Structure 1
Amino acid sequence: MRVILAHDRIREINQDTRALLSLAELFPGSKIVTLLYDNRYLSPELEKHLIETSFLHKFPGKIKFSYHLTPIYIQAIKKLCLSDFDLLISNSRGFAKGISVPDSVLHVCYLHQPLPLAWQSLDWHFPRNEVGGLRFRFIQRLSGRLRQWDLESAKRVDVFIADCEATARAIKRLYNRPSKVIYPPVDTDYFTPGSDSKGDYFMIVGPINRNRRLDITIEAFREIKEKLVVAGEGVDFYRLINSSSSNVSFTGYVNDDKLRRLYRDCKALIVTSNNSFSMASMEAAACGKPSISLNNELIDSVDGERLNSKSVNFIINDMGIHSADCSVSALKEAVKIFNRLSFNPEELRRISREYSKQEFVRRMQDFGAEVYSLFKREGKRNVERLLFD
């Protein structure tokens, strides 16, 4: 079976990239197609594969300005020419799923999130009071075009796999399509506890972009006076450095070795993005460290002790502290509550193993075999109906 793996952009460490790495190991002879990539994030495993890029990869400053190239992504996807393959697996937050394939090819999309700029609040990405009225109106029109394209491109997918229940609900709500839930892979063999240190800092990890709402954490820690380490890079990197207080430090790009050390030595991870599944939280848990998660889309399904403190509702469980309230006051209160609690590293690690890389590979293999068998026997038009009816 000839397989192509399609990925939006290889330019940061996140659950999308972790999933691509595991898929590449699962299909060792596959070709990888992506809009662009950053050499720093090409692991030895990915370098074993033939990697084909779009014309955007030739742009000077493609990594620094990749966020600003969004309006061109649709055209870049259309110009990708693929041939001589049987199965396309798009590992995507929206763009890679738009690749067209012939009727003889099965297209399975592992979706981590419907296209954010099409469906999320634009103020999360481009605050109206900062970008100006004229530019904001242009962004609104662009978002409308992306929304229309996203709905059309979803029709090119034969079978959806969602990275969590919240993504599955979004696939049903936006595209009226069923999906299979398979959680992203956490490398619990690599991310392991270190010493018994309780840590002396909180941390954030991931791309430093506006939609992750890092301003809230920076502002809260201006008043909290605890140490905060921000690991990662992105379009908001220098703006946040200039607005942060002296107790906040920025690492820039970190490799996995440095990331593991940061997890092991922190007090807790802070998550304020609206992603429904947090790979970083699970990696921290594998290292025995809890999380403070605000703006959690899954808050209604989170089990644990419920606590109301200063008009903010929190849920406390073995993974950490959770709240749907993503505000400076909520984070300040969450840190106060956290400092009065203790968490069991062994239980955190046990939970993380439920999302291990081995579990991901097993579930992908089992579901993939079922899907491809139906495709060969019944044809692509009947696969989804037979899988989910």
Structure 2
Amino acid sequence: MNVLHPVQPEQKTMRVAIVHEWLEHYAGSERVLEQLLIMYPQAALFAIVDFMPGAERVMLGGRRVQTTFIQNLPLARKYFRYYLGLMPIAIEQLDLSGFDLVISSNHAVAKGVITGPDQVHVCYVHLPMRYAWDMQAAYLRQGRMEGGARGLYARWLLHRLRNWDVRSAAGVDAFVANSSYIARRIMKVYRREATVVYPPVDIARFDGPEQPRDDAYVVISRMVPYKRIDLVVEAFRRMPQRILHVAGDGPERERIRKVAGDAPNIVFRGRVSDAEVLAMMRRARAFVFAGEEDFGIAMVEAQACGTPLIVFGRGGACDIVRGEDAPDGPTGVLFAQQDADAIIDAVERFEGMQDRITPQACRINARRFSREAFRQAMFRVVERAMQDVHARGMQAAE
């Protein structure tokens, strides 16, 4: 694969603004931001708030981040999410009038920046504002806001956010989705087509000599409800002849331990270091996951280690796994239902075809999600968007 130079010659004089949601920690969406800043080193950076710790700011390249008025509101450092109702107003106050290209990195309100007819606005969507759309009921339930005055206010606020979310989509010239699943959600919510550009994964970090494989299956994840670690644990409790290592921590930890009971084949590793995660993935017989992810970077990382996947066949997993009938060779097994029986069946199917899944096939599959692949794809999207906006401008002038 040819690696694009981060700066194209014609882009050196182009005025670029990158709008990120908020800067708090280096996580999934910040991986995308990091690559956008490499692509456009001349870009100015905007965010609703910037509370990123000093140790994690290397990716910003010393840039000054221009923030909104929410940065200075009371208790914003700890509770800025509570100002969600003000974020649409805040994002609209950013002055981007001096830029030729605006790229927004959106999972809440970043796409709502105001641009002019001669400016190009490309929006990379990590996910639409799901707590205002199809996840509203779960969000209200989790926050114990199903009834009462707080519940009424939350429903009113989310209704207003939905209206604003749809209206602000009209200001985007080109939508980019991080998976086919998110592209379908963009079509459902905004009635707009989106180009799929997979998030960047540091594939090189997982390169290394092939490790001897253990008999153990692994699940590595934060223990929160939607990850469905409980289903994986229940399935392996019913398969005492198979070993499962569980790594991670979170609010579901004790409940998941109770699901395991005293099963000797299930080993809880707790929170582990990055080096331990890498070692576990390289040695695992397979990586098992039962949650529905918008994309699923951990699955790509497992593939980069040469490790097969046994995962729930919805969401981003469908873009990542090459299934049992893949013409280029399988890299894992998908199961159709979120229940223990489906996981047990998938493990049995995997063991029946394990010899067909090679570490080399898994590693080759992972290369589709590299940082270089991301930059190449984004350059193409931006170039096409600029050509389209220019063509519309020429038509309007005739």
Equivalent of 2:35, from 22, 30, 40? 22
Instruction: Say whether the 8 Å CA contact 1:124–1:211 is kept in structure 2.
Output: no
Evaluate the alpha carbon distance shift between residue 105 and residue 274 of structure 1 in structure 2; reply closer, same or farther with a 3 A threshold: same
Does 1:48 pair with 2:68?
A: no
Q: In structure 1, what is the Cα distance between the partners aligned to 2:379 and 2:161? A: 32
- What is the one-letter code of the residue matched to 2:66? E
Evaluate the alpha carbon distance shift between residue 276 and residue 91 of structure 1 in structure 2; reply closer, same or farther with a 3 A threshold: same
Alignment-derived partner of residue 312 in structure 2: 294
- What is the one-letter code of the residue matched to 1:282? V
Alignment-derived partner of residue 271 in structure 2: 251
Structure 2 residues without counterparts, runs of 5 or longer = 1-13, 261-266
Q: In structure 1, what is the Cα distance between the partners aligned to 2:138 and 2:395? A: 38
* SS of alignment partner, residue 242 of structure 1: helix
Alignment-derived partner of residue 3 in structure 2: none
CA distances 1:273-303 after superposition (whole Å, capped 9, x unpaired) = 4334322211221121222221513788876
Q: In structure 1, what is the Cα distance between the partners aligned to 2:54 and 2:238? A: 35
Instruction: Say whether the 8 Å CA contact 1:201–1:227 is kept in structure 2.
Output: yes
* SS of alignment partner, residue 292 of structure 1: strand
Does 1:176 pair with 2:191?
A: yes
Evaluate the alpha carbon distance shift between residue 198 and residue 105 of structure 1 in structure 2; reply closer, same or farther with a 3 A threshold: same
* SS of alignment partner, residue 196 of structure 1: coil
User: Aligned pair count?
Assistant: 364
Q: CA deviation at 1:160?
A: 1.3
Q: In structure 2, what is the Cα distance between the partners aligned to 1:139 and 1:222? A: 40
- What is the one-letter code of the residue matched to 1:3? V
- CA root-mean-square deviation: 3.7
* SS of alignment partner, residue 190 of structure 1: helix
Instruction: Say whether the 8 Å CA contact 1:321–1:338 is kept in structure 2.
Output: yes
Instruction: Say whether the 8 Å CA contact 1:98–1:154 is kept in structure 2.
Output: yes
Structure 1 residues without counterparts, runs of 5 or longer = 307-316, 383-389
Q: In structure 2, what is the Cα distance between the partners aligned to 1:63 and 1:273? A: 31
Structure with more of its chain in strand, by fraction: 1
Q: What TM-score do you get using the length of structure 1 for normalisation?
A: 0.77
Evaluate the alpha carbon distance shift between residue 348 and residue 179 of structure 1 in structure 2; reply closer, same or farther with a 3 A threshold: same
Equivalent of 2:293, from 251, 268, 275? 275
Equivalent of 1:319, from 322, 331, 335? 331
Q: In structure 2, what is the Cα distance between the partners aligned to 1:280 and 1:241? A: 19
CA distances 1:37-82 after superposition (whole Å, capped 9, x unpaired) = 4327835232333323334445787676566554443344234444
- What is the one-letter code of the residue matched to 1:281? M
Alignment-derived partner of residue 159 in structure 1: 174
Larger radius of gyration: 2
Q: In structure 1, what is the Cα distance between the partners aligned to 2:234 and 2:383? A: 49
Percent identical among aligned pairs is 26
Does 1:364 pair with 2:378?
A: yes
Q: In structure 2, what is the Cα distance between the partners aligned to 1:201 and 1:67? A: 37
- What is the one-letter code of the residue matched to 2:220? I
